[in-house]
Amino acid sequence: MGERLWKEECGVAAVLCRDRVTPAAPLAHLALYALQHRGQESAGIAASDGWRLRVHRDQGLVAQVFTPRTLRALDGWLAVGHVRYATMGSATLANAQPIVVPSPWGPLAVAHNGNLINAPALRCVLEGAGCVFASSTDTEVIAHLIARAPAATVLEAIRYAMQHLEGAFTVALLAGETIVGFRDRHGIRPLVLGGGPGFWMLASETCAFDHTGGEPLGEVDPGELVVCTADGARFLPVLEVPRRAHCVFEYIYFARPDTALFGRNVHRVRRRMGRVLAREHPAAADLVVPVPDSGSSAAMGYAEEAGLPLEIGLIKNRYIGRTFIESSPSVRQAGVQIKLNAVREVVRGRRVVLVDDSIVRGTTSARIVALLRRAGANQVHVRVSSPPIRFPCFYGIDTSSRGQLIAAALSVEEIRARLGADSLGYLSQAGLVEALELPAQVLCMACLDGQYPTRVPTEEEAGRAALERGALRRRAPAVTS
């Protein structure tokens, strides 16, 4: 709750202006603003006129990285953009995306959301074939694999690469006069095709189309490749799909409330989660308070179902970055203390139901409970609109070990005591599925139940430092067919 060991992955966007004249970078720039919540460490855009490719990327937020001058320099009617939170490879400029590599079909600009679980093995093979890597990201592995594929066309090369990649990958790519998007066989991370007056666009979430004047036309299916040119867009199935496995935390936390995923508005899904949570874990209380902003939709549903007033009992300081971005515990703690403040007049002398989307480490959750008690709350009943997180994610979320997950080691009662709450209730996994109104078999809930849609990688294969030089040197060269 609040402390976000669940760190966002990344957001991708790509634009093609069909008149071959209108600059695409400004539209990509607007899309990245809409996707800023998915990554706040770096941002970048590569733009092309079909011949020359220019790229600008840097560390920081979209508003910090791009100026009117840098956008004007990104001329061309095709563009691909990216916002990053590091889940494989450190937060350095070298790892900012899009990644650009040479290829037989001209420069490729690649933006990626997800994590490959066979990136170290693929990189060893590619380095043995003469590839020189400039970063420690799995995105560069994808880019070089495409560039080195035994193929006559770039589409054949992409199909070849898709068949050799394992794990979660949602990719937007610019090559020549084409933008391309593709997803892994399980569709773990989202990707949507849309368009507007005179342009095609690919984006991680539908909210990006609202910012650009476009409309979503449909999700790219798992294992599918979508190709956009000035003449049109076409979908090409590439990989067999053993089963869909959409990440449930896209619905619980990652996606913006105004986004639609798999035909379901995220805010309405979260509101249903809150209603189910209230039925499963009622509390004798006076009011419901969300942890802003991630708990707001679920708290609304909880209050409706419980017949309790929904109050603003916590105020968020919007001029401080999200606490999970800070790597130092002391800096993180100071950030939490100034990030939230209790409204004493609302909570004093009252029994409070505190609603948020998840508890990961529990450290910030405990501080929020203490904050409400200092403001005079008589009781604090914590309600969580997701089940306990007991297993790490290897598909683009920075949870590298179970040791960091409080629910992996402690019972619900032990967590309640650690938080200092009067009671604690989690949404059940069945309740989550009910709220999503989706079959359980199309969801990835591995972080909840340990049932992974792919083989389970080692931390060496899928951890944040998997492609750092020291980690690679410790591995024997890999051989693949």
245-272 tens-digit pLDDT: 999 999 999 999 999 999 999 999 999 9
Find residue 444's DSSP bridge partners: 247
What pLDDT sits at residue 135?
94
pLDDT tens track for 354-377: 999 999 888 889 999 999 999 999
pTM (predicted TM-score): 0.91
What architecture (CATH level 2) is domain 10-245? 4-Layer Sandwich (3.60)
The dihedral through the CA atoms of 105, 108, 112, 115 has a sign that is: positive
Share of residues in the chain with pLDDT > 90 (%): 81
286 CB-contact burial (10 Å; exposed 0-12 / middle 13-18 / buried 19+): middle
- Distance, in Å, from the CA atom of 361 to the CA atom of 4, rounded to the nearest integer, reads 8
Q: Is 228 labeled as catalytic in the residue annotation?
A: no
Give the pLDDT band of residue 87 (cuts 50, 70, 90). Answer: low
Give the pLDDT band of residue 92 (cuts 50, 70, 90). Answer: confident
Phi, psi torsion values for 108, nearest 5 degrees: -105, 130
- The identity of residue 199, as a single letter, is F
Give the pLDDT band of residue 57 (cuts 50, 70, 90). Answer: very high
Kindly list the strands in the beta sheet with 351-356, ordered across the sheet, starting from the edge strand earlier in the chain.
Answer: 287-290, 351-356, 379-384, 423-426
> Which has the minimum average pLDDT: 32-41, 80-89, 352-361?
80-89
The dihedral through the CA atoms of 466, 472, 478, 481 has a sign that is: positive
Domain 260-441 coded CATH 3.30.460.10:
no
- The identity of residue 319, as a single letter, is Y
Instruction: Enumerate residues 6+ apart whose C-beta is below 8 A from 32.
Output: 11, 13, 43, 45, 62, 81, 82, 83
Options 10, 17, 207, 447, the catalytic residue = 10
What pLDDT sits at residue 330?
55
Instruction: Enumerate residues 6+ apart whose C-beta is below 8 A from 303.
Output: 274, 278, 287, 288, 309, 310
Give the domain ranges of the chain: 10-245, 260-441
Kindly list the strands in the beta sheet with 53-59, ordered across the sheet, starting from the edge strand earlier in the chain.
Answer: 53-59, 42-48, 78-84, 10-17, 199-203, 192-196, 215-219
- Of the candidates 405, 359, 394, 390, which has an alpha carbon nearest to the alpha carbon of residue 464? 394
Residue 391 tokens read as 């297993």
Q: What is the mean pLDDT of residues 7-32?
A: 93
What pLDDT sits at residue 404?
76
Q: Which helix (H) or strand (E) holds 150?
A: none
